[in-house]
Structure 1
């Protein structure tokens, strides 16, 4: 303990980055090995997208009859999903012997068409580590489960490397970023075949780089932010962040914001034309018609959604901290409270960008974050919720993890936090990782 106190001196970003890498490597390897295949949220669809990219299909297509989007992928993904289907949404069911046998004996090689419209529209960049894992598994003639395990591990290593770089470069913002990236939900996404883990890491690194003085950092930050917003178009309001970088001239800032916006609109237009499910436009049009008929219903829906969150104990907030698996693997309520307190403490003692002469910058950044949150809810209502429904359905806490690093542009510059605060922040992941691994073991049994 005294040694840790000695390390946590001013300019502790590098030390926090090292601690994060240690915590995250242990946690993600354990989660990747213990959690059964395709049991992270939408991991089956993400795995299908990664496997299609591994075979050179960068933009998926509609199926032969013009229906939903997908690609030709390994049949083993469907067989694994069927083998472990009894676990989904049934938190008291454990992995049994037939499931274990299926996980290790289903071969790769046989290829069939699979529909996965919810992930077919995502850009390929965040699936590259998992795609390499699938190719490596095929080269080694590994089973389908071992190919998924390779994809999980490579995704975790890439996510941890990017996130560690973000913390190391974050300066006085590093305590909050460290705490955010050590949350069970973040670590769980790092350890899954999914775009979310690497997207969160790239969001953190991109936003940190934007705030730095040198032009190369600003350019790389804009590129990373573009990739993140392409993967989740409701993040488009973050395109204003390059405009808030006071160290760059207006031409560079405008070019950065325009680059982000152009990337989002270009990719969205391309994938909508190729992969948008045929029933989606009709559903969205009917939802918009219902809103036009009763405009006041927008306020009614917003209030019902907020009221339900409060009545149910902030489920989106708990998911933000960590509800693993298919949102059926919860953590102790006391842990959610402690994690929330530590996260707020880290935010309170973390410093944002260096001050400039424009006092509107924090307000504009906060407005961008709030607008992005609103667009997430709006998109879920238009595309996912029942037509004319009383509330927004389908919103998950993980959708907001990649937005949180933008608080770098909102928080004021602060002095270095006391060592006692840094010690709490640096030590809390010990509890977080322990609680997370225990929850996975209890939920599934040792796999």
Structure 2
């Protein structure tokens, strides 16, 4: 009997200690995130050669257009859309183009000397940037501010873009830390997802994707508070979530489905200030649809690539004539690209011929850690109601399918048998919402602590691996 009592007492002490440790870890999670993220943002901002993040060339050009007082782009021909840019951006691109075009090229002293000499010219010319012309100016604000500062201080173009990366990364990391602090559920998933190499690389770029990722994490956090608290949202939570849905959806229309949780009676407050909840939601939807219509009428053009001329109208007519073919397309795409999507979501850094990947073990370990992050949420505080869980799954699933369908309509061969052009990083904001999709299971605190610790430690592997990858790809000369 004494043995049983002592054993029970020991288990009680372990449980109490685990609860206390978990509470301290969760309180410190935002600061731990920043401690991991900011050094990597600084390293990647400085060491990644200009334009060598995914699509960073056109994103930098879009931000420069906004900084020059041109928030809107226009269609100028059957396959041309964009605006004018300072020719200094093109002069810098010319320096690093050999690395983008040839897989064996490295950064040389000559390249560095030439890049440091490129300044803002004050001369402007049209740049055809159809992939970024469709984006609103809002998510380019951090990079736009950096360009204003760079031009005012007469900094070289490359230094200005590095400043843009640093400011963009600092804002994205801060928003993510705020999301982790606010989340009632899902903070470990957000922590793990946003510290993946691909997320950090997007933070440390001149791309709007930095704010798409961090904004998506913040949206998930705001939704979690009323849904997990089994209460209506406060006015600030509701308005904040609606504004985020609008901002994210104007750049990625598939995010509009995340308006659905705001329509739940258990989430929607009766009033938000002087406006009804329906007015807030309607405003977010109207703003998004207005931008989509504007882009469709005045901006969007087909983007020929690899001998393919995607035509959205023809593709839509094909699907109307044979709607069941879409299931075949999605199945073929899953068979062909699932592994590639995973690799690109975890760590597929660089762009063009400058793209590079992590060691194979890293992807296995990252997958295990992401599963452990989900397990930590399952073993955590109470989750969503069944109705809320169904709406959350519907929102994430519809957004996921929407990404594939839009890419099939706008970027794939007419009548093609698979979807082209989807990048694994497109799914990172959805991955950050996974904490909302998990059921809750009562379990000992010690078990939850055991699943949480590897999640908190894994970013050390990223901090050790990514610098080796970058230096080896760009700065160590072959042979």
Do Structure 1 and Structure 2 share a fold, with TM-score over 0.5?
A: yes
- CA shift, 1:414, in A, is 5.2
SS of the equivalent of 1:130 reads helix
Which residue, 368, 371, 385 being the options, matches 2:395?
368
**Most deviating of 250-259 and 210-219:** 250-259
Tell me the residue number matched to 2:319: 291
- CA shift, 1:247, in A, is 4.3
TM-score with structure 1 length normalisation? 0.91
Tell me the residue number matched to 1:84: 96
- Per-residue CA deviations over 1:185-243 (Å, capped at 9, x if unaligned) read 10000000000011111111122123324221221121112211111012221121212
- CA shift, 1:182, in A, is 0.5
Between the aligned partners of 1:137 and 1:349, the Cα distance in structure 2 is: 44
Q: Does 1:240 align with 2:265?
A: no
**Most deviating of 295-304 and 408-417:** 408-417
Between the aligned partners of 1:301 and 1:429, the Cα distance in structure 2 is: 36
Tell me the residue number matched to 2:6: none
Tell me the residue number matched to 2:82: 70
Tell me the residue number matched to 1:441: 471
**Most deviating of 40-49 and 80-89:** 80-89
SS of the equivalent of 1:152 reads helix
Between the aligned partners of 1:279 and 1:172, the Cα distance in structure 2 is: 40
Between the aligned partners of 1:359 and 1:353, the Cα distance in structure 2 is: 15
Q: Does 1:218 align with 2:218?
A: no
Q: Is contact 2:98–2:105 with CA below 8 Å preserved after alignment?
A: yes
Between the aligned partners of 2:166 and 2:35, the Cα distance in structure 1 is: 15
Which residue, 329, 338, 341 being the options, matches 1:316?
341
Structure 1 255/343 Cα, relative in aligned 2: closer, same or farther at 3 Å?
A: farther
Tell me the residue number matched to 1:272: 296
Structure 1 91/348 Cα, relative in aligned 2: closer, same or farther at 3 Å?
A: farther
Give the unaligned 5+ runs of structure 2.
1-17, 226-232
SS of the equivalent of 1:72 reads strand
Q: Is contact 1:353–1:409 with CA below 8 Å preserved after alignment?
A: no
**Most deviating of 227-236 and 44-53:** 227-236
Tell me the residue number matched to 2:10: none
Q: Is contact 1:13–1:172 with CA below 8 Å preserved after alignment?
A: no
Compare CA radii of gyration and give the structure with the larger one. 2
Tell me the residue number matched to 1:37: 50
Q: How many residues align?
A: 438
Between the aligned partners of 1:263 and 1:400, the Cα distance in structure 2 is: 24
Q: Is contact 1:350–1:414 with CA below 8 Å preserved after alignment?
A: no
Tell me the residue number matched to 1:106: 118
- Per-residue CA deviations over 1:354-396 (Å, capped at 9, x if unaligned) read 556x522212211221111111111111111111112111100
SS of the equivalent of 2:135 reads coil
Between the aligned partners of 1:365 and 1:250, the Cα distance in structure 2 is: 21
TM-score with structure 2 length normalisation? 0.85
Which residue, 390, 394, 403 being the options, matches 2:417?
390
- CA shift, 1:257, in A, is 3.8
- CA shift, 1:245, in A, is 7.0
Between the aligned partners of 1:436 and 1:414, the Cα distance in structure 2 is: 35
- CA shift, 1:38, in A, is 0.3
SS of the equivalent of 1:211 reads helix
Tell me the residue number matched to 2:362: 335
Which residue, 126, 131, 135 being the options, matches 1:118?
131
Give the unaligned 5+ runs of structure 1.
none
